[in-house]
């Protein structure tokens, strides 16, 4: 099928099998390897991207669902060569250890702050409940999200 | 190459459905289906996605009926003002599904179509006497949700059929749903209890109760409801209602499906659902 959708703000057209997962389409067809595959079952959140403003698992979305939709990946966060504020603060707060969950954590944070620029700690925890960090660096991650919202 | 159909209007829907074979699959949000597809457990010849049709994403109240499009997401139902006012047990169930990423993608149609014994919304559909409208190439038919599930993963849907919307009569009773999982968030239902209460002052006039995840389909607890008629809601009566649930589980659930845990946990989940509904009386 020919798929037309918006990827990181740019209209994108490609030939793709309808059963291809968005995750594979990004990594294999478009070379955007910032999005990671963890569990492949919607448990770990590593593959989180933002579709039409909502955080979703790119491992559970198929090409046949994407026509006309707007997809934002980690690669779409930088503006004019500058990292997004969330990315800078994650680095400053050492909210990254091995880094594998980081893309998903940042995309879930981005979606949260798009809806709710000043979330409470409970709201942050709810928004990130579907993102697992196996290095267990949650304290630093929460601190980074809080600081980002305070400095927004 | 696999075929794909994604009609954009209701007018295009019949032709898309007509093209499907018994090997084809309707895709909802995909949060359960894509896992089986990717593992090779299902190998469809065609996929059909109806989420571009605006009518299938709408929640509307028309007279005494609330209509919920089959592609409404959990997040949408959790926050929708009509659902919150009239169908709070549906709000409870939708709000507790998986993680935010799953709730942003998972749909009500998919929850029923997947026909999982642990489907969070299904006991709530039973509680509210919901019906589902099914489209085919020749038109639509309306079926009670209680007639839909044949066995785990299998519904009455024919190859050319799809759920398009759910019809909930505006309930004349208060309602709530509580799910017990093995942790607070991002969990699979171990027991889900949907409760409806029609009160006459401090006394129960009518009660409805369904439990999910304890059998293939939600189980009605008519004896517990008869027991509560004319009674007040106090600690002992609530524990007696929990007793109907724990007795059912002890007699019907196989030990390998966490029977002993579920028997023990019945008391907590029934207490919680009464607490939640008391906050709404």
B99: chain A residues, CB-CB within 8 Å = 42, 45, 129-131
**Other beta carbons less than 10 A from residue A75's beta carbon:** 16
**How many Cβ pairs closer than 8 A exist between chain A and B?**
90
Location of each CATH 3.30.465.10 domain in chain B: 3-169
Q: Do B109 and B163 touch, CB atoms closer than 8 A?
A: yes
Percentage of chain B exceeding pLDDT 70: 97
B 2-21 residues with CB < 8 A to A: 2-4, 6
Nearest residue to A127 (alpha-carbon basis) of A139, A116, A135: A116
Q: Which fold has domain B174-278?
A: Enolase-like; domain 1 (3.30.390)
Contact B3 A130 (CB under 8 A): no
Which residue stretches of A6-151 are H helix? 22-24, 85-92, 102-115, 121-127, 138-151
Q: How high does pLDDT run on average in chain B?
A: 95
Sheet of B46-49: strand order equals B3-5, B46-49, B25-27
Location of each CATH 3.30.390.50 domain in chain B: 174-278
Q: Do A86 and A76 touch, CB atoms closer than 8 A?
A: no
CA distance B185 to B187: 5
Q: Name the residue among A54, A62, A126 with its Cβ closest to that of B47.
A: A62
Distance of CA B164 to the CA centre of its chain: 15
Following DSSP, what letter does each residue of B74-136 receive, concatenated?
A: HHHHHH-HHHHHH-HHHHHHHHTSS-HHHHTT-BHHHHHHTT-TT-TTHHHHHHTT-EEEEEE
Strands (E), A2-51: 2-7, 10-15, 48-51
Contact B47 A1 (CB under 8 A): no
Domain A85-151, CATH: 1.10.150.120
pLDDT digits (tens, 9 = 90+) for B124-173: 999 999 999 999 999 999 999 999 999 999 999 999 999 999 999 999 99
Burial status of residue A76 (CB atoms within 10 A of its CB: 0-12, 13-18, 19 or more): buried
Q: Which fold has domain B3-169?
A: 3.30.465
Is residue A9 left, alpha or beta, with left meaning phi > 0 and alpha meaning psi from -120 to 50? left
Q: Token pair for residue B56?
A: 């299938």
Contact A40 B98 (CB under 8 A): no
> Does residue A53 surpass a pLDDT of 70?
yes
> Does residue B186 surpass a pLDDT of 90?
no
HSE at residue A67, side-chain half, CA atoms within 13 A, is 18
CATH class as words, domain A2-76: alpha beta
ipTM at complex level? 0.96
Q: Where are the domains of chain A?
A: 2-76, 85-151
Is residue B116 left, alpha or beta, with left meaning phi > 0 and alpha meaning psi from -120 to 50? beta
Strands (E), chain B: 3-5, 25-27, 46-49, 59-62, 65-69, 131-136, 139-144, 149-151, 154-155, 162-169, 174-180, 191-200, 203-212, 219-220
CA distance B90 to B112: 13
Q: Do A68 and A4 touch, CB atoms closer than 8 A?
A: yes
Residue A152 — very low, low, confident or very high, per pLDDT cuts 50/70/90? confident
Average pLDDT in the B191-203 region? 97
> Is B47 touching A (CB cutoff 8 A)?
yes
> Is B104 touching A (CB cutoff 8 A)?
yes
Rounded to a whole number, what is the distance in Å from the CA of A151 to chain B's nearest CA? 24
Q: Name the residue among A64, A67, A127 with its Cβ closest to that of B100.
A: A127
Per-residue pLDDT, B133: 98
Per-residue pLDDT, B187: 67
């Amino acid at each position: 099928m020919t798929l037309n959708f918006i990827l990181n703000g740019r209209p994108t057209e490609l030939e793709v099998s309808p059963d291809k997962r968005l995750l594979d389409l990004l990594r294999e067809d478009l070379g955007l390897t910032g999005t990671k595959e963890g569990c492949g079952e919607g448990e770990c959140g590593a593959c989180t991207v933002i579709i039409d403003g909502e955080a979703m698992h790119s491992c559970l979305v198929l090409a046949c669902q994407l026509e006309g939709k707007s997809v934002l990946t980690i690669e779409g966060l930088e503006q004019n060569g500058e990292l997004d504020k969330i990315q800078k603060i994650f680095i400053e707060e050492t909210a990254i250890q091995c880094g594998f969950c980081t893309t998903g954590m940042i995309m879930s944070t981005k979606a949260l702050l798009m809806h709710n620029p000043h979330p409470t700690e409970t709201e942050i925890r709810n928004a990130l409940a579907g993102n697992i960090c196996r290095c267990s660096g949650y304290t630093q991650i929460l601190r980074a999200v809080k600081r980002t919202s305070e400095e927004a | 190459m696999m075929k794909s159909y994604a009609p954009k209007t209701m007018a295009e829907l019949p032709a898309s459905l007509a093209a499907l074979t018994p090997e084809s699959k309707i895709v909802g949000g995909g949060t359960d289906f894509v896992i089986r597809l990717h593992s090779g457990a299902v190998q469809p010849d065609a996929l059909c996605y109806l989420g571009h049709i605006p009518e299938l994403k709408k929640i509307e109240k028309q007279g005494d009926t609330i209509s919920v499009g089959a592609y409404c997401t959990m997040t949408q139902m959790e926050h929708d003002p009509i659902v919150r006012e009239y169908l709070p047990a549906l709000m409870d169930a939708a709000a507790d599904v998986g993680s935010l990423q799953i709730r942003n993608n998972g749909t009500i149609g998919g929850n029923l179509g997947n026909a999982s014994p642990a489907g969070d919304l299904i006991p709530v559909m039973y509680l509210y006497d919901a019906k589902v409208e099914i489209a085919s190439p020749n038109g639509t038919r309306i079926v009670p949700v209680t007639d839909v599930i044949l066995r785990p993963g299998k519904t009455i849907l024919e190859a050319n059929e799809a759920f398009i919307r759910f019809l909930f009569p505006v309930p004349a009773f208060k309602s709530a749903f509580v799910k017990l999982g093995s942790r607070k968030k991002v969990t699979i239902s171990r027991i889900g209890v949907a409760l409806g209460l029609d009160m006459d002052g401090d006394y129960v006039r009518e009660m409805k109760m369904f439990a999910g995840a304890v059998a293939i389909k939600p189980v009605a607890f008519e004896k517990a409801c008869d027991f509560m008629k004319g009674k007040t809601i106090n600690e002992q009566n609530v524990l007696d209602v929990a007793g109907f649930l724990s007795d059912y589980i002890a007699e019907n659930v196989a030990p390998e499906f966490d029977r002993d845990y579920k028997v023990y946990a019945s008391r907590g989940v029934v207490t919680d659902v009464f607490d939640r509904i008391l906050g709404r009386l």
